[in-house]
Amino acid sequence: MDGGLIIGIHGLNNKAEPGILRDWWTASIMEGMSRNLGREVRFDFTLVYWADLVYPAPVPVPENPEPYLPAAGSGPLPGFDASAKAVATARVREGVEKVLEKLLTAPLVQNIVRDAVQARYPDLHRYKHHPVTRRDVQERLREPLRAAHAQGRRVMLIAHSMGSIVAYDVLRRAGRTLPGVRISHFVTLGSPLGLGGIGEIVAGPLRVPECVARWTNLADPTDYAAEWNTRLANDYRANRAGVVVSDRLVTNGYVNGSGKPNTHKIYGYLRTPEVSELIAEFVRQEEA
């Protein structure tokens, strides 16, 4: 049996070319390992790239407004401030989201939301309404999962933003399309899977996929994609093996070259202490 494999899948919007984006993901992970754990951790990584199925050409590096940039300072990066105030703020937002979810069932509101999604998130709109795009995007993830299974490799799947929607769809259907595939650890970062109306996009009913042995969901409570519901365990039932979602709040400290924070950015998530420890744990299991 070969060693473990970490598979990443990116989220919304156009991206740099595949090789560069992969290098930025791995640089973020390695930065986190070095700063948070004080050591390098070796790992095999592959990136599922699907932006080219929606956009005609990748973003040139000089035109990318938010490339990978090392975090300022030195030493461990900050973990989440688990103070009562910070947690309470996150829970208030989740309560508001539940009210909005009920409002979203109104036909007029649904039409408004649909138009807003089409204008602001063309990737998500195409994924939902264009079956060929949906199929092709999902197949990009199925390919490395099939290969890993054929090689007998353990898999950690890290899905960011809309990538978590794609990953969830693929894993929920894995019994039919990926027989025998198992995911040792499914990690979602900045995921919108808890938002109202998500059941209209992903395979339902909402539950932990049967092929998943462990699911950890990490979110910065100020991340626009996840702030309204950071606790997926409230919405996704356990699978038949009793696996439930483990939700954790983190601090995404990404700041772009202009000094503007973006708490949804993948590079900030990948170097958090919490993600560093999860990856180190996965690698230790391979070395044992």
CB-based contact 234:265 (threshold 8 Å):
no
What pLDDT does residue 85 have? 52
Count of CB atoms within 10 A of residue 93's CB? 16
Distance CA 265, CA 190 (A): 8
Whether 76 is covered by a domain: the verdict is no
Output the tens digit of pLDDT for each of the chain's 288 residues: 468 999 999 999 999 999 999 999 999 999 999 999 999 889 999 999 999 999 999 999 999 999 999 999 999 999 988 764 555 555 545 544 443 444 444 443 344 344 444 446 788 888 988 999 999 999 999 999 999 999 999 999 999 999 999 999 999 999 999 999 999 999 999 999 988 778 778 877 899 999 999 999 999 999 988 888 889 998 999 999 999 999 999 999 999 999 999 999 999 999 999 999 999 999 988 665
Whether 69 is covered by a domain: the verdict is no
Distances (CA, A) of 26 to 4, 32, 252, 282: 16, 10, 17, 15
What pLDDT does residue 90 have? 54
Q: Cis bond leading into 221, ω under 30°?
A: no
What pLDDT does residue 89 have? 57
CB-based contact 153:1 (threshold 8 Å):
yes
| Domain range for 38 | 5-58+82-287
What pLDDT does residue 100 have? 41
Whether 70 is covered by a domain: the verdict is no
Helix (H) or strand (E) holding 280: helix 273-287
Whether 68 is covered by a domain: the verdict is no
Query: What CATH code is carried by the domain that includes residue 277?
Result: 3.40.50.1820
Distance CA 217, CA 188 (A): 5
What pLDDT does residue 120 have? 62
Whether 253 is covered by a domain: the verdict is yes
Whether 74 is covered by a domain: the verdict is no
**DSSP annotation of 34:** I
Count of structural domains, the chain: 1
Whether 73 is covered by a domain: the verdict is no
Whether 66 is covered by a domain: the verdict is no
